[in-house]
Amino acid sequence: MAEIVIAKGRDKSLLRRHPWVFSGAVGKVEGRARPGDTVEVVSAAGRWLGRGAFSPDSNIRVRIWTFDTNEAVDAAFFRRRLERALAARELPGVPARACRLAAAEADGLPGLIVDRYGDFCVCQFLAAGVERFKADIADALLDLTGCAGVYERSDAEVRAKEGLTPLTGVLRGAEPPELVEIDEGPARFLVDVRGGHKTGFYLDQRDNRRLVAAHAAGRRVLNCFAYTGGFGVAAALGGASEVIHLEASAPALALARRNVELNRVAHVPTQYLEADAFARLRELRDAGERFGLIVLDPPKFADSKAALERACRGYKDVNLLAARLLAPGGLLFTFSCSGLMEPDLFAKVVADAFLDAGRDALILARLSQAPDHPAAAAFPEGSYLKGLLLRVA
């Protein structure tokens, strides 16, 4: 194997078992290393630090597979890691047939996302290392889960940073149908695993949907950035007096309508607004509308440190609009899935929004991702989803 020699003084994160080696920490490369090759990582003094996947096109030059010098990286390695990941998903409240089976660095599988929807595993191979071992991973998944098929959704933009092209399609077994039905407690959802966002559904918001349902009774609910209606369906099942889904994507909104029909909540007055959320929120504000519960679950606003300041402005603007739309005693569930947005910074941005709106608010809860989306203790970046539940005076 080629060796990646870490520059002097740049090995502290590896000694703490952080799995990323950035390009600036690489002192030199000894030997030939191609994209996806397994390489040895050593300190400037020659100390062995780890074994990982090389990615010359990425700012994350090496993703560590193992910190055990005796552990080989082969098909058996990936089977063991997947077995461990599956065992970790045997958790109360986590549906066995609608959950995240592998969460990249958290499961010692950097660059790999696997979600299960019914009888299908849907995978994202987002780094050169897992791309190299795709066949071994697909074989292991089919065998370990007993699923009917393994489907690839490696069409995320981040693959370009790894020098990889977008790929989708069947890897093993059968092709999934146009829509896969899943259960989430009393709720049921149709998931577009072949063309929906990411792998098709936001499983990480499962517990937060339950929390919305628990607070929705008798409230007029505005579900912003609704996607396929998850929060709105939860609110309707929880006894909301009215639900409005606000979403810019017509196909997503059409699927939201089908999810509402699937859950037999037609008795709850429901509207579907196809519009840019920022623009429509301003219109609702100007019309004097008021809501008892608002959900803000926008897409990622920051994918780089350079974009963080602009992201903060976006989060402040949308939370300011929501603060002005809340009725007295109203609740706001507000989220950020931008990994670069620290929880304390997000809380400050939201607090500033309420200050500018002239509204007093209490933080009732700090929210995060569901437990089948864990974060490794040595990899805090894995705690990407942060949220707040606030009550306005």
- Any idea which residues carry the catalytic annotation? 337
Give the separation between CA 186 and CA 232, rounded to whole angstroms.
14
Cβ-in-10-Å burial (0-12, 13-18, 19+) of 266 comes to exposed
Distances (CA, A) of 102 to 95, 126, 167, 361: 14, 13, 19, 37
Contact 316, 353 (CB under 8 A): yes
Helices (H), the chain: 12-15, 75-88, 128-132, 134-145, 206-215, 230-237, 250-262, 277-286, 308-325, 343-357
Q: Taking CA 43 as the corner, what is the angle to CA 42 and CA 48, rounded to the nearest 5 degrees?
A: 40
Q: What 3-state class would DSSP assign to 336?
A: strand
Place of tokens 């864990």: 374
Q: Taking CA 381 as the corner, what is the angle to CA 377 and CA 384, rounded to the nearest 5 degrees?
A: 110
Q: Taking CA 195 as the corner, what is the angle to CA 193 and CA 199, rounded to the nearest 5 degrees?
A: 45
Number of H helices and E strands in the chain, helices first, is 10, 20
Amino acid letter at 99? C
Which residues are CB-contacts of 342 (< 8 A; sequence separation ≥ 6)? none
Tokens linked to 50: 């780890």
